[in-house]
A and B are shown apart, each in its own frame.
Chain A
Amino acid sequence: MSRVVLTAVIPVAAVVLAGTSCSPGGYSGPLETVTVAAVPTELNALVYVAEDRGYFQENGILFELKDYDSGAAGAAGMLSGEADIAVAAEFPIVRQVFNKMDIVNFGTIAKYENTYIIWLADSGSRTIQDLRGKRIGVTLTTISEFYLGRTLELNGMNIEQVTLVDVKAPDSEKALAEGKVDAVVTWEPWADRINRRLGDKAITRAAQSAQYAYWNLVGSRGWVNNHRGTIERIVRALGQAEKYAAGNQDEAKAIVRELMNFEETYMDAIWPHYQFTLSLEQSMVIAMDDEARWMMGNKLTEDTVMPDFAAHIYADGMKAVKPEAVNIIR
């Protein structure tokens, strides 16, 4: 049989294989260094996986992370020229837009719910309403400030009825323990650390009102306009990481855990609250509109006209890599 049958089968197989095989893309140019202003947080999981798996390098990107305390600080540092891009939630973008900064979001790399209001049980406060008139530590200008305000509103108050104390997230436990504040609004991993350390002595309530925050890659408009190819390659590398994490969740978690030096129980606890998917969604614009209205309503900005946040979104890079993840209404 053989020779005749094989000669009949091989072309068919070749056709079949040709139809099903993927041609691996590949960047053949020089490595391009991109400095990133970022908070060292598990929210950067796709970045860490891409770095660990070499996806950035495959796409000609050398990611240099520059640590900041918050996404807002990172965005501000980026806008002041300290980094090429930054990773930040949507609220700092809203604030920078109100600050007339030409900041552009070119990709959400995670949606998350990790911000909590924590106070001591022996403080006498049992509910959110009990925090009226109390000092609440929060990292100002970050989305935790908005979440605090939104939580207060949903509980019949506003931020003017509490005393806002600017506390950096890493310092929130200390501020609470030292009595500098009556409650803190903080995010993971600090919230988890406070809870583990205080146990029943702390009362913890979700601060995001069942609403995801969006963790975004941002850059100045000038940088974005001049680095469209770079953005596409960054998004492509992150898309590879997303695909890897979806299919290899434990490995992805391990990469983040080892990098961040987290415990496994912590990782298991927080992971369900995160969605590591690349997107540019209209829901984020709605959220930004909501946050902008909140800022205007609380006189946190002098502007009274709603900005067009869709104009601060660069979607071409994402569309080139994952077009189904873009549904911005313009």
Chain B
Amino acid sequence: MRIRTQFIMTMLLFGVLLISISVSAILTNGRIERANEQEMIAGSIAQGASELSYLANDYVIYGESQQHERWVNRFLRFSSDVASLRPGAPEQQVLVANIQANTQRLNEVFESIVATVGSSPEGTAIPMETLQLSWSRMAVQSQGLISDAARLSQLLDDEISRLRQMNIIVIILLISMFLAYFVANYLLTQQRVLKSIANLAGGAAVIGSGNLDFRIEEKRKDEIGELSSAFNRMTADLKTVTASKSDLEREIEERIKAEDAFSLQSAIVQAINRIFRECLTCETNEELALFCLNIAEELTQARFGFVGEIGDDGFLHDIAMSKMGWEACAMEDKAGHRRAQGSFIIHGLYGRVLLDGKSLFANEPSSHPDSIGTPEKHPVIGNFLGVPMLSGGKVIGMVALANREGGFREEDVTVMEAVVPAMVEAMMRKKAEDKIAHLASFPELNPNPILEVDGSGNVLYVNPGARNTFPDLLEQGPRHPLLAGIEEIIREVDNQPLVRDTQIGDAWYEQVVARVTNSDNFRLYTRDVTARRNAMLALGESEEKYRTLFSSMGEGFALHEIVLDSAGKPVDYRFLEVNDAFEKMTGLSREKIAGKTVKDVLPGIEPLWVETYGKVALTGEPVRFENYSAPLDKWYGVYAFSPAKNRFAVLFSDITYRKKAEEDLKRMNTELEASNQELEAFSYSVSHDLRAPLRSMEGFSNALLEDYSDKLDDEGKQYLRYVKESSDMMGQLIDDLLRLSRVTRSEMNYEAVNLSGLAGNIISQLEKEEPRRKTSVIVKPNLAAYGDRNLLRLVLENLLGNAWKFSGKSGAARIELGVTERDGKKAYFVRDNGVGFDMTYADKLFKPFQRLHKPADFPGTGIGLATVRRIIRRHGGDVWAESKVGEGATFYFTLS
């Protein structure tokens, strides 16, 4: 819709609304005024009815004509008021009708009264009855009128209130409509006009900036839409007559690009020409590579780079590096040239180029996933370009460039990918030339004599080696001893060269006579083999010695060849060579088994032998094993290895005797185990069977002492105490013996044991038992050992218990647990400053029931140290003691 139409419609709508509301407001105001006027009339009627009632009463009472006239005059005004009532609402109309009817009645009643009163002669008193009747009649009428007039006034007042309320509503509506109009107008203007104008202005600005392709949106069908359309038409027209700025720029850009491309192509062509020219003039491949590198740097504006080749060792070798790179990464070679430090592992960015065979450039190489950084002092690489050198589809090297100002571009890649193949070609050609030159130089450089002769043996060429070795060769020609019989040899030479040995003086020469390809000439490659012949003679002697050793060695030796089935699985083996010891240990003679397979010789041989040897022969992995051969009824300790593919040798010894000894030992162990079990049963029986009578002895001794104390003299009581002590002692003895027995047989559970912790607990227990005793105990912290925790606890209980016991009578008892070193092993010790012992009896210490002190002085069973020794020995260690009488004792023990 057009803006003008919108505007007109909006204004019309608003105008209609405004007029309607205004008219409504005016009409309402008019109605209010009219209602006000009517209300005033109603009030006047009520007042008039009241006044007429007064005047009527005045007239009735006095009958004077002026009262009559006054009533009539007032009634006329009253009637006029009633006549001027213009009721609106139906209820008002009803009331007005009532008022009008009542007015008529009022007049009728007054006329009736006038007739009555007037019939009385003037001056005579009007009868009371008449007065009362007239008053009542007038009162009824006037009161009715007053009521109706008041009611009408009330209705009119209600109407006025209602109209005023309506007026307020109309005013509110008017204000609301204004607000709505302004809001709607604002929104319409904003939505339909201002936005469109902004869109138009924006589009005009774009077009004004020269973009004649831009089109302003024409979504509205109004003046702005038309303006937009006009703009667009104008832009289109402008574009048809004038090339737009963008077209010109594009054309210029394309022209520049074409020129750039041409320049690039020229540079590439020139570079390729220069490379191939250099290829013709340079002396070395390195020079050519450096030239190529310079060309690459020149083309790409890179600051430095390198050319590298992948060597046979799989590493990258720099063959050219720009000056900057040399300074940082190169060292001088023997010739004084600065050379790369060596080969480089293929990794990093350049590695990625070599691995992928694709060009790669990175302008932020440090953030590239393949980046591995740079070595110390390496120039900072700000950007990187690597182009692979390909030959026959294979990556043979690369050209790497770095630090182009502003970073590398795709076109640098394009240029390099165009130039590098030329570099590769030039370098390959240079290499080929070098190789040819190199090959050509072989005879010249070869120190061995090389000759070329014709079919008659005439010498055509001799190399410096030949000239040096045989100075008279050219002079003597075919008569030279070197060429003796050469004609016969030549005749026999076909495609395969012939070899012969020729002796000249003491020297022997090996000659290889070969036909020169596509020629009737022959070339003779000669070398001095005198030393080799001598060596072979020496070797013959050596082999003899070896034979002797082979035959005389104590271990059996045999060389075999594995026999495989069609699937390549070992199924048999063949004897190739055996020594004398083999014959002795197997009972198989060399003659009988030579060339035969083991299954021929020993049909019942166990499959394990073939499988084991087959694995050795096929994998080359040696094995060492022991096995029993049923056919030979012998045990062998075998070492088998593979000296060559599908072959294996065995070195073996007869261990039948040892095996039998082991079996005997095993059997004895089994028997010993059974014996131990019997001993266990015995011990159990002893512990129970002996304890029962002991308990009886102790019990009855106590009973005698308690119940028959009065019947026993002191000596009898003392005997009984001896009996009790002896039974206690025997009980202790049984316990110790059982412990000793268990120590020997219990299963060992090895683990890391903190001896210091165990000792601390044991000392604490001892101190609890004798709380008043003062003993200085020194335990080296964190003494670690590896053994059975329970058994080691028993060791420490015995040793620390002994130390505690035997130092009990010292003034300042001192006990120490520590570790020292003896014969390179840890030796734990328990030291005390107790009574000590005489070292003369030291060997008795660890035997059961051996005691060096009287039981009365130091009680005990004599089992403790025996238990200690058994435990220590079970741990693979040793225990010993050092002491002097009165100076304490030190018990050492080691663990394996």
CB distance from B21 to the nearest CB of A (A): 12
Interface centre among B142, B144, B169 (most CB of A within 10 A): B144
Size bracket, chain B contacts: 35 or more
Given A12-B176, A20-B169, also A283-B98 (CB < 8 A): no
A4 touches B98 (CB 8 A): no
Q: Counting CB contacts under 8 A, is B593 at the interface?
A: no
Q: Counting CB contacts under 8 A, is A243 at the interface?
A: yes
Binds B, one of A78-86, A120-128, A220-228, A285-293: A285-293
Give 1 or 0 for each of B81-98: 1 = CB within 8 Å of chain A CB: 000000001110111011
CB distance from B75 to the nearest CB of A (A): 14
Q: In the docked arrangement, what's the CA distance between A15 and B425, Å?
A: 98
Residues of B within 8 A of A9 (CB): 176-177, 180
B109 touches A211 (CB 8 A): yes
CB distance from B666 to the nearest CB of A (A): 106
Give 1 or 0 for each of B532-560: 1 = CB within 8 Å of chain A CB: 00000000000000000000000000000
A1 touches B105 (CB 8 A): no
Residues of B within 8 A of A293 (CB): 132, 136
Q: Counting CB contacts under 8 A, is B807 at the interface?
A: no
Tell me which of B105, B142, B172, B180 contacts A210 (CB under 8 A). B105
Interface hits, B222-246 → A, CB 8 Å: none
Q: Counting CB contacts under 8 A, is A24 at the interface?
A: no
CB distance from B179 to the nearest CB of A (A): 6
B184 touches A4 (CB 8 A): yes
A290 touches B140 (CB 8 A): yes
| SS class, residues of chain B in contact with chain A | helix
Residues of B within 8 A of A325 (CB): 147, 151
B94 touches A275 (CB 8 A): yes
Interface hits, A165-214 → B, CB 8 Å: 209-212
Q: Counting CB contacts under 8 A, is B137 at the interface?
A: yes
Q: In the docked arrangement, what's the CA distance between A297 and B172, Å?
A: 65
Interface hits, B357-376 → A, CB 8 Å: none
A283 touches B93 (CB 8 A): no
Give 1 or 0 for each of A224-266: 1 = CB within 8 Å of chain B CB: 0000000000000000001100111100000000000000000
Interface centre among B93, B155, B169 (most CB of A within 10 A): B169
A210 touches B176 (CB 8 A): no
Interface hits, B804-847 → A, CB 8 Å: none
Give 1 or 0 for each of A4-28: 1 = CB within 8 Å of chain B CB: 1100110011011001100000000
Q: In the docked arrangement, what's the CA distance between A277 and B155, Å?
A: 13
B94 touches A324 (CB 8 A): no
Residues of B within 8 A of A275 (CB): 94, 97-98, 101
Residues of A within 8 A of B144 (CB): 111, 212, 281, 283
B176 touches A246 (CB 8 A): no
B108 touches A210 (CB 8 A): yes
Q: Counting CB contacts under 8 A, is A272 at the interface?
A: yes
Q: In the docked arrangement, what's the CA distance between A211 and B98, Å?
A: 13
CB distance from A269 to the nearest CB of B (A): 15
CB distance from B153 to the nearest CB of A (A): 9
Given A154-B112, A247-B90, also A286-B136 (CB < 8 A): yes
Residues of B within 8 A of A12 (CB): 172-173, 176
A286 touches B112 (CB 8 A): no
Size bracket, chain A contacts: 35 or more
Tell me which of A19, A249, A281 contacts B165 (CB under 8 A). A19
B180 touches A5 (CB 8 A): yes
Tell me which of B97, B104, B184 contacts A2 (CB under 8 A). B184
Give 1 or 0 for each of B126-143: 1 = CB within 8 Å of chain A CB: 000100110011011111
Residues of A within 8 A of B116 (CB): 154
A286 touches B140 (CB 8 A): yes
CB distance from A292 to the nearest CB of B (A): 10
B98 touches A277 (CB 8 A): yes
Tell me which of A272, A283, A324 contacts B155 (CB under 8 A). A324
CB distance from B111 to the nearest CB of A (A): 9
Q: Which residue of B is nearest A289, CB measured?
A: B136
Tell me which of B95, B101, B133 contacts A153 (CB under 8 A). B133
B98 touches A20 (CB 8 A): no
Q: In the docked arrangement, what's the CA distance between A281 and B143, Å?
A: 8
Q: Counting CB contacts under 8 A, is B187 at the interface?
A: yes
B112 touches A209 (CB 8 A): yes
Q: Which residue of A is nearest B91, CB measured?
A: A246
A286 touches B184 (CB 8 A): no
Tell me which of B132, B136, B166 contacts A20 (CB under 8 A). B166
CB distance from B805 to the nearest CB of A (A): 108
Residues of A within 8 A of B172 (CB): 12, 15-16
Tell me which of B147, B166, B169, B180 contacts A281 (CB under 8 A). B147
CB distance from A105 to the nearest CB of B (A): 15
Residues of A within 8 A of B181 (CB): 5
Q: Counting CB contacts under 8 A, is A70 at the interface?
A: no
Q: In the docked arrangement, what's the CA distance between A247 and B132, Å?
A: 40
Interface hits, B46-105 → A, CB 8 Å: 89-91, 93-95, 97-98, 101-102, 104-105
Given A15-B172, A286-B139, A324-B151, also A211-B133 (CB < 8 A): no
Given A20-B165, A209-B112, also A283-B140 (CB < 8 A): yes
B154 touches A8 (CB 8 A): no
Q: Which residue of A is nearest B153, CB measured?
A: A324
Other A-B pairs, 10, CB within 8 Å; known A9-B176, A281-B144, A283-B139:
A8-B180, A9-B177, A153-B129, A211-B141, A212-B105, A243-B91, A246-B93, A275-B94, A281-B147, A287-B136
Q: Which residues of B contact A (CB under 8 A)?
A: 89-91, 93-95, 97-98, 101-102, 104-105, 108-109, 112, 116, 129, 132-133, 136-137, 139-144, 146-147, 150-151, 154-155, 165-166, 169, 172-173, 176-177, 179-181, 183-184, 187-188
Q: List 28 interface pairs A-B (beta carbons < 8 Å), by A numbering.
A: A1-B187, A4-B187, A5-B181, A5-B183, A5-B184, A5-B187, A9-B176, A12-B173, A13-B173, A19-B165, A20-B165, A150-B133, A154-B133, A210-B108, A211-B109, A272-B97, A275-B94, A275-B98, A277-B151, A281-B143, A282-B143, A282-B147, A283-B139, A283-B141, A287-B140, A289-B136, A290-B136, A293-B132
Which 9 A-B pairs give the minimum distances between C-beta atoms?
A: A283-B143, A290-B136, A246-B90, A12-B176, A324-B154, A210-B108, A247-B90, A1-B184, A210-B105
